[in-house]
Amino acid sequence: MIRIFTTLIVAGFMITATAEARPVSYPDGWTGMFQNNGDRNSAHIHYSPTAKTSIGYKYEHWRDKEYDLHAVQMNNLLKRWNKPNSQANIYLKSGLGVVDGKGGDFLDESDVAGFTGIATDWEDRRYFVSYENRYTYAGDLDDFYQQSARVGIAPYVGDYGDLHTWLMVEVEHNPEVDDNFTVTPLVRLFKDTHLVEAGMSNHGEVLFNYIYRY
């Protein structure tokens, strides 16, 4: 079953670019992403040698699956559309590493792991939509597909340097679990190089993400 549904580009418009949760930064830029949701805790530190590529370290702790994933992740900007008042992007996000079992049937077991998926987004200064999918292979420990989508609206349009606010809803679908749809209303706040997201899903699970770009 398919799952349905983190520098200014144009002066005066892309005020979100310095802190946006995108997988590729500006050339020579570093980004740290620390995320928590109902499934996992994760950290992703990456460096962008160009405006189209980033490479870094990805860590994930899957609580119910009881394993940790360590991977080298590469993100590639496949296509960008810059318009006078909007921007859209398509990325390929892939990683290769290992998983370590932390409990259950796979305690102390390790295996090769890899993942790949497409992420895309569109936004102007008022509206935001995004979609992302991922297939993960973790040897004998796991093998799954998931995807998610977001829609958002800014209740006000701030100037460069202001505190910016987005009200969003995220929908996730994981076909392997009983409650395979998760809906999470959340608030995104960002200023300068800092971005924070917080929300609670329909299953009572907390989402909290912090992203720092430097």
- Cβ neighbours of 166 (radius 10 Å): 21
- The backbone region for 64, taken as left when phi is positive above 0, alpha when psi lies in -120 to 50, beta otherwise, is alpha
Instruction: Report the C-alpha gap between 200 and 38 in whole angstroms.
Output: 9
pTM: 0.85
Instruction: Report the C-alpha gap between 24 and 90 in whole angstroms.
Output: 11
CATH class of 29-213: mainly beta
pLDDT of residue 21: 66
Coil vs helix vs strand at 104 = helix
* Bridge partners for 194 per DSSP: 191, 212
Angle 31-66-76 from CA coordinates, rounded to 5°: 30
Query: Backbone phi, then psi, for 104, in 5-degree steps?
Result: 65, -145
164: its two tokens: 């910016």
7-62 pLDDT, tens digit each = 322 222 233 333 456 799 889 999 999 999 988 999 999 999 999 999 999 999 99
pLDDT of residue 15: 32
Coil vs helix vs strand at 106 = helix
Residue 211 burial (CB < 10 Å; 0-12/13-18/19+)?
buried
Helix (H) or strand (E) holding 30: strand 29-36
18: its two tokens: 């310095």
**How confident is the prediction for the chain on average, in pLDDT?**
88
Coil vs helix vs strand at 193 = coil
Instruction: Report the C-alpha gap between 147 and 176 in whole angstroms.
Output: 12
pLDDT of residue 20: 54
152-201 pLDDT, tens digit each = 999 999 888 889 999 999 999 998 877 889 999 999 999 988 999 999 99
- Of the chain, the end-to-end C-alpha distance in Å amounts to 39
Instruction: Report the C-alpha gap between 44 and 56 in whole angstroms.
Output: 7
115: its two tokens: 């993942």
Structure letter (DSSP) for residue 105: G
